[in-house]
Amino acid sequence: MLEFANIRAIARKELRDALHNRWFLVFTIAFAGLALTLSTLTQPGGSTFRAMSYSRTAASLINLVLLFVPLIGLTLGAANIAGDRETGALAYLLAQPVNRAEILLGKYAGMAGALLATLTLGFGAAGVVLALQRSVQDAGGYLLTVGLAYLLALSMLSLGFLMSILARKTATALGGALFLWLLLVFIGDLGIMGTTVSMRLPIETVFLVSVLNPLQMFKIASILSVQANLEVLGPAGLYATSQFGGLLLPLLIAGLVAWVAVPLAFAVRMFGRQERFVVKASAR
């Protein structure tokens, strides 16, 4: 039986540690700065700035989220359990009156809080600038994009924690996280495009392969949140719109939720049942 008081205590410690991590602070400042920059643009031929609309800002932030959020989510998660195992902090935690599921869930909750705080600061700063200068009639799509970014961040954090449990050392976990980031961000798009051209895959197959990638789920759902169709994605987008209609966005959101829950559930199960995951790496 889980004791939520233990989970909260561990989560608070993880949150404090994350907020005092200099690299995490650098990422937070960088993301907030870039979000503010994307919320304004220079008028042609002039030096003054004007605010973009909420929907245009959301569209601009999609690529920023796709690049940075998976990287920070994967690396934060991958370094957590593996790092504590190497330093002996994990063995100390297990000597306390807490079970392994409480430890893992507490650590995950703390890191999730820090990660979501970063996204909130970036999106919030851009949103405040826009609210001060324009109407808020198209703010709904912007807020939905923020929610989708939260789900993407949590899914990457879940994958990072799973990788941290599977790896023996922090360096191995971080290397795996970086490889997975490259696979999802770059090889995913390029690989699908290359395979489509070389094998002449049908449109429905291209779409189904695309949505197996949580980053593509976020991208498609975000585009739907700021415009009514997926024409910008070409034939695959038109196929998705015509095939699923109004159900497409709920299905994509459900897919992102599954990417959050399933890797985390596997991590909890493996961490709780396999003794080798709590032994210091230096002792091997």
Structure tokens that stand for 9 in this block: 């205590």
What number is the average pLDDT over the span 22-26? 81
pLDDT for res 220? 86
Q: Which of 129, 141, 123 is nearest to 50 (CA)?
A: 129
Integer angstrom CA distances of residue 199 from 7, 206, 213, 252, 280: 49, 11, 20, 26, 47
Out of 41-55, 177-191, 235-249, pick the least confident: 41-55
Confidence at 273, pLDDT banded by 50, 70, 90:
confident
Confidence at 133, pLDDT banded by 50, 70, 90:
low
pLDDT for res 171? 92
**What pLDDT, in 10s, does the model give residues 52-109?**
566 677 777 888 898 889 999 999 999 999 998 888 888 888 888 888 999 999 999 9
Instruction: Please state, in angstroms and rounded to a whole number, the distance separating the CA atoms of residues 147 and 222.
Output: 10
Tell me 228's DSSP state: S
Residues facing 40 on adjacent strands: 51
Contact 145, 63 (CB under 8 A): no
Structure tokens that stand for 14 in this block: 């993880």
Integer angstrom CA distances of residue 240 from 171, 208, 233: 40, 9, 10
pLDDT for res 46? 41
Instruction: Please state, in angstroms and rounded to a whole number, the distance separating the CA atoms of residues 5 and 25.
Output: 28
Confidence at 232, pLDDT banded by 50, 70, 90:
low
Contact 106, 8 (CB under 8 A): yes
Structure tokens that stand for 12 in this block: 């608070």
Tell me 168's DSSP state: S
pLDDT for res 29? 86
Give me the numbers of helices (H) and strands (E) for the chain, helices first please.
12, 2
